[in-house]
Amino acid sequence: MRFFQIALVVLALFLQYKLWFGHNGVQDYTRIKSAVKAHQEINANLTKRNKLLKADIEDLKLGLEGVEERARHELGMIKPNETFIRVLPKVPHEN
């Protein structure tokens, strides 16, 4: 009877060890859970970026206004007979 009790205690300790530290145990679960969360955040950011890019594509397909806006903003282009004026913010002087 004493041997049976010792065997049960040893078995319980072995199972607890496997649960906490073994393959597919609690440590693996928490590591994988945090990796999944990180990938979900990355995917959410990429989804936002893709939506913005799709909106840009649709805007460029619709007409010349999107192309003109992009040319003005990104390339600094101006139309013929148009004057470009750039206003710089006032910088405080050091004393």
How does pLDDT run across 3-60, given as a tens digit for each residue? Answer: 889 999 999 998 888 888 888 888 889 999 999 999 999 999 999 999 999 988 887 7
Answer positive or negative: Cα dihedral of 37, 38, 43, 44.
positive
Residue type, 27: Q
Residue spans of the domains in the chain: they are 2-75
Q: What is the pLDDT of residue 47?
A: 97
Report pLDDT for 95: 62
Cα–Cα distance between 33 and 64 in angstroms, integer?
47
3-state secondary structure of 22: coil
What pLDDT is attached to residue 86?
77
Q: What predicted TM-score, i.e. pTM, was given to this entire model?
A: 0.52
Q: Who contacts 21 (Cβ-Cβ below 8 Å, separation ≥6)?
A: 27
Using an 8 Å Cβ cutoff, are 29 and 36 in contact?
Answer: no
Q: What's residue 20's pLDDT?
A: 83
